[in-house]
Amino acid sequence: MTTPEHDELRDQVRERYASAARTVTSGTGAACCGASAAEGCCSEPTVLDESFGAARYSAEERGELPYAAVAASLGCGNPLAVAELREGETVLDLGSGGGIDVILSARRTGPTGIAYGLDMTDEMLALARMNAEAAGAANARFLKGGIEAVPLPDAHVDVVISNCVINLSTDKPAVFAEIHRVLRPGGRTGISDVVAEDRLSPADRATRGDHAGCIAGALSFAEYRELLTTAGFTDVRVESTHQVADGMHGAVVRAVKPADRPAAH
């Protein structure tokens, strides 16, 4: 159940990302995300923040993409580096933004695969569709919706990825329940997110950055593992990749939805 405070935070996130899409579409600069995001987006698109955005991808990966997809990257990692996508798989990217991970996923899964991108922002969806068309990613599909209520059937995808978006949700148990629901038995996650050291309280995290700036809503390492386990996942791993602020880390998250067990005879 949402509260007025949750609705306000969601509106702040939506406007921040809509503004980022407008910035890229207008050609006035690159989007940015991080503890200093409240100060405005990056004014120089050729400078890559080493903690956030396109810098988390290899030069080869960036070279595969339209400029606008790279400029709109707001992530804190590269979920494809851990998702190990395979030919013919169906992939869902939660909070797909300008489409960078959807386009890369579409290429890795090939013409027999499908890469879905889910975003709640009309401006980002329009930008992502433009980028996918420019990249020739015919197997990319974009859906409008929130990550707490994914508009896909049960057991529909093989892999769920996400890049620095789950920390923005005000109902993270619902997000993990939805990931579990849409995954096929044996399906897996490959998520990049901002995660807090276990020593930091929610108040401590809030002092390091605002909610829409990717910091204040972050779970701790222990909380992430606990919520994924409670949602029904196994083989849960949450591992730091780099520090983004004092006690705050970019991290990769892996988990598996258990395969169906054969019926007893």
Radius of gyration (C-alpha) of the chain in whole angstroms = 17
Query: Which tokens belong to 19?
Result: 């503004």
Q: Calculate the average pLDDT of the chain.
A: 79
CA of 124: how far to CAs of 15, 30, 165, 178, 183, in Å? 11, 13, 14, 22, 24
Most confident region among 36-50, 116-130, 179-193 by mean pLDDT: 179-193
Segment 109-118 shows an average pLDDT of: 97
Segment 58-78 shows an average pLDDT of: 58
pLDDT at residue 166 is higher than 80: yes
Task: Go through the domains of the chain in sequence order and give each one's CATH number.
Answer: 4-256 (3.40.50.150)
pLDDT at residue 252 is higher than 60: yes
Question: Could you tell me which residue, 154 or 209, shows the higher pLDDT?
Answer: 154
Locus of tokens 């159940």 = 1
pLDDT at residue 32 is higher than 70: no
Q: Is the pTM of this model over 0.85?
A: no
Segment 164-187 shows an average pLDDT of: 95
Q: What percent of the chain has pLDDT over 90?
A: 47
Most confident region among 74-83, 131-140, 222-231 by mean pLDDT: 222-231
Compute the distance between CA of residue 262 and CA of residue 115 in angstroms, rounded to an integer: 29
Given a contact cutoff of 8 angstroms between Cβ atoms, the answer to whether 80 and 104 are in contact is yes
Amino acid symbol at 92 = L
Q: Within its chain, how far is the Cα of 147 from the centroid? A: 10
Given a contact cutoff of 8 angstroms between Cβ atoms, the answer to whether 246 and 196 are in contact is no
Given a contact cutoff of 8 angstroms between Cβ atoms, the answer to whether 74 and 31 are in contact is yes
Residue 79 banded pLDDT, cuts 50, 70, 90? confident
Question: Could you tell me which residue, 45 or 18, shows the higher pLDDT?
Answer: 18
CA of 157: how far to CAs of 25, 34, 151, 209, in Å? 30, 30, 12, 34
Amino acid symbol at 189 = T
CA of 7: how far to CAs of 4, 37, 117, 194, 218, in Å? 5, 20, 23, 22, 18
What one-character DSSP code corresponds to residue 114? E
Segment 14-36 shows an average pLDDT of: 51
Lowest-pLDDT range, 16-20, 50-54, 159-163?
A: 50-54
Locus of tokens 């083989």 = 235
